[in-house]
Amino acid sequence: MIEKNINIINDEICKIYDNAIEKNLFEKEQLLTPWFYPSNIFNINAKILFVWMNPAWWKEDFYKWDEKNISKIEKIESIKKTINYKESEKPYKYYKEYIKNFPDLENWNQVDLFQYRCTNQKELESIIKSSIYKDFINSQYNIFVKLIKLINPKIIVITSARASHYLKEKWSISHIWENWFWLTPKKIIGKEIPVLFTSMLSWQRALDIWTREQLIWKINDILSNIK
């Protein structure tokens, strides 16, 4: 079941990108390959869901979305075989680098809020704010919501200041509970899930060590009180 659902999600991502090219939303040399989710490393029973803003890119797996004239299924599989998507003994090679300072948090999964690959967050912000890319962004957000429902985590941790601002506004979240967490809107996710908004976990501009320790404590505290 999980493989079928993930394949459907990957197919939807592919359609979004093909549609963006057809509508000339991007120059062909601008739109990079998105992130596809390998089903065999997707922890459907994960209690913690880390949410990043968007995938960056590395030289090893860099190529443009419209670079190869192949079918969408071949395209997905060819991308998943590159170093970033390789279904190997260390499938979360890059994301594990971000969570290496959280050794006590093992039962986790990760998704990206958006699939648009870039390293310059200002570039992505300009796309999010532009009406031209409204459907492109909303379609990716809808996939993000589907992933939350599929994983059904006990807690969601937004690991990006920009993603946190976006979701708090998108979900119209203002009330914070007395034990310092927010809740996902039931009308959107289908249930209320505790949410923590934070910033990068490691690398540049990351949380300092004591803030990180507080975050770990808070995650475990919330999990311990969930029936």
**CB-CB contact of 36 with 78 (8 Å):** no
Q: Rounded distance, CA 53 to CA 48, Å?
A: 16
| Model pLDDT for residues 165-221, shown as the tens digit of each residue | 999 999 988 766 666 778 888 889 999 899 998 876 665 556 666 677 777 778 888
Which segments of the chain are extended strands (E)?
48-52, 108-112, 155-159, 182-183, 194-198
| Model pLDDT for residues 93-123, shown as the tens digit of each residue | 555 555 555 656 667 888 899 988 887 778 8
For the cut 50, the answer to whether the pLDDT of residue 84 exceeds it is no
For the cut 50, the answer to whether the pLDDT of residue 85 exceeds it is no
Question: Whole-model pTM?
Answer: 0.83
The set of residues, in sequence order, having a beta carbon less than 8 Å from that of 227 and lying 6+ positions away, is none
pLDDT band at 91 (very low <50, low <70, confident <90, very high): very low
CB burial of residue 21 (10 Å; 0-12, 13-18, 19+): middle
CB burial of residue 178 (10 Å; 0-12, 13-18, 19+): exposed
DSSP strand pairing (194-198 vs 182-183): antiparallel
Structural domains present in the chain: 2-224 (3.40.470)
